[in-house]
Amino acid sequence: MTAINRVRRVIVSPTVIALLLSVVLFLIGGVIQPDFLNAAQALNIVRLAAFLGIIAAGQTLVIISGGEGIDLSAGAVVTLGAILTFMIGAGQDSNIPLALAAVLGAGLLVGVVNGLGIIFLRIPPLVMTLGMTGVIQGTILAMTQGAIPGRTPPGLAGFINGRFLGLPGVIYLWLALGIIMWLLLERTPYGKQLFAVGVNRRTARLSGVNVPLVVIATYALSGMLAAFGGFVLLGFTQRVFLDLGGSYLFPSIAAVVVGGTVLAGGRGSYTGTMAGALVLTMVESLLRAMRLHEAYQMITFGVILVLLLSIYGRQRRNQ
């Protein structure tokens, strides 16, 4: 009985459904455009999904934490992370550790401020993180005066894009993050308390959970992970602009939700988000394969995001 239950739980899990969905989308791509269906294309999609997946990691934690939790500052923090890496890295591999430390520190700072505002000033997460977006963008402008000096360290670009045993480096990075995130959510006291806080904060508090600490730590982690996403993304784009991260914000939320993490909080997984990132990247690639005009690609992708969010948002509400 028990074993069957567990198997059934895995099969009907949102992660598996999302993975199947991305395979189906891939096959549909093959029907539309026969040369879409090959291993190189599949690998390329997984590689692109890795960037979205890494950026969506922090968002997963924040959405699980409930209380209308959402991190709308993630896009701006991605940009900030990329720009800091670009400026501090300045084309020198020896600067990478310093750049990474600065990136993580900046992300941490943003996240802690978000968390403090949400917990102690009781500002709704939507408002707090949206306001933070403006603050970050303004800071970047003031810092750079529009012209951003610097260069991507070649070692970073080499690792992210280079192939190791046939796979791009970013995929290894993504898999490692996947393992860390699984451990964090399923095998640490923090993870268990995060789910509890997401389901019902009063119950969590009455079970001895330090709710403010968990929430602030979650926004702090989200800031750090988004900034790290910017660091990784720079290795891919090797150039920076003010709206670099912005285009990842909405897809990152969609990836979390398609992966079965409930918008109301308290339930979800990062493996689901990984599968969700695959689905969304697949949709984007499919639209590109259909050779639509770029404007129509963007419109269609936007409509699909809204559809996915409304379908999944309506399903499986808490309790």
Binding site for other proteins (CB under 8 A): 1-2, 5-6, 9, 183, 187-189, 192-193, 195-196, 199-200, 202-210, 266-267, 318-319
Cβ proximity to other proteins, 196 vs 274, nearer residue: 196
Min CB(16)–other proteins separation in Å: 17
Q: Are 95 and 156 in contact (CB under 8 A)?
A: no
Min CB(25)–other proteins separation in Å: 29
3-class SS of residue 1 = coil
d(CA 140, CA 162): 30
Cβ proximity to other proteins, 166 vs 208, nearer residue: 208
- 168 forms beta bridges with 163
Cα end-to-end distance, the chain, whole Å: 25
d(CA 250, CA 276): 13
Residue with the two structure tokens 């006291």: 189
3-class SS of residue 163 = strand
Cβ proximity to other proteins, 73 vs 193, nearer residue: 193
- 164 forms beta bridges with 167
Cβ proximity to other proteins, 181 vs 233, nearer residue: 181
User: Among 192, 208, 182, 205, which residue's Cα sits nearest to residue 266?
Assistant: 192
The tokens of 239 are what?
Answer: 């150039």
Min CB(199)–other proteins separation in Å: 4
Min CB(202)–other proteins separation in Å: 6
Cβ proximity to other proteins, 67 vs 131, nearer residue: 67
Burial 127-152 (b: 16+ CB within 10 A, else e): ebbeebbeebbeebeeebeeebebeb
User: Among 176, 178, 175, 170, which residue's Cα sits nearest to residue 271?
Assistant: 178
Cβ proximity to other proteins, 93 vs 186, nearer residue: 186
Min CB(195)–other proteins separation in Å: 6
Cβ proximity to other proteins, 185 vs 233, nearer residue: 185
Min CB(128)–other proteins separation in Å: 23
Min CB(264)–other proteins separation in Å: 10
* DSSP E strand boundaries for the chain: 163-164, 167-168
User: Among 170, 315, 179, 185, which residue's Cα sits nearest to residue 237?
Assistant: 170
